[in-house]
């Protein structure tokens, strides 16, 4: 099941997930066979994960991160591409914490 659902409720939209149903045989909520591997609600609405910002893509040593509904191009201090990064702001300039 999706990590953003509790029983049949989506944590992001706070509504019933259309891909989860009640199974009378096992008396529990189960995902149906049409549940996508990458939910579009999850992909578009989750910008932060435990206080970290999502990296949307990378190019030429830069990470592109959405901060306050604005895409920022930040230098990548790592020698790999992280999924989420910690951000700090110094003198109005955002940087990635190492």
Selection from 84, 30, 31 nearest residue 74 by Cα: 84
Q: For residue 29, count CB atoms less than 10 angstroms from its CB and return exposed for 0-12, middle for 13-18, buried for 19 or more.
A: middle
Q: Which residue has the higher pLDDT, 75 or 53?
A: 75
**Is it the case that residue 4 has pLDDT exceeding 90?**
no
pLDDT number for residue 44 = 59
The DSSP output letter for 51 is T
**Is it the case that residue 91 has pLDDT exceeding 70?**
yes
Given 3-state DSSP classes, what are the helix, strand and coil percentages for the chain, each rounded to the nearest 5? Answer: 5, 45, 50
pLDDT class for 22, splitting at 50, 70, 90?
A: very high
Q: CA-CA distance, 75 to 96, in Å (whole number)?
A: 7
């Amino acid at each position: 099941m999706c990590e953003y659902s509790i029983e049949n409720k989506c944590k992001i939209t706070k509504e019933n997930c259309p891909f989860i149903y009640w199974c009378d045989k096992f008396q529990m909520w189960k995902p149906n066979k049409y549940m996508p591997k990458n939910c579009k609600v999850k992909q578009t609405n989750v910008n932060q994960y435990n206080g970290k910002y999502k990296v949307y893509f990378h190019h030429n040593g830069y990470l592109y991160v959405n901060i306050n509904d604005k895409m920022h191009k930040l230098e990548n201090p790592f020698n790999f591409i992280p999924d989420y990064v910690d951000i700090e702001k110094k003198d109005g300039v955002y940087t990635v914490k190492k």
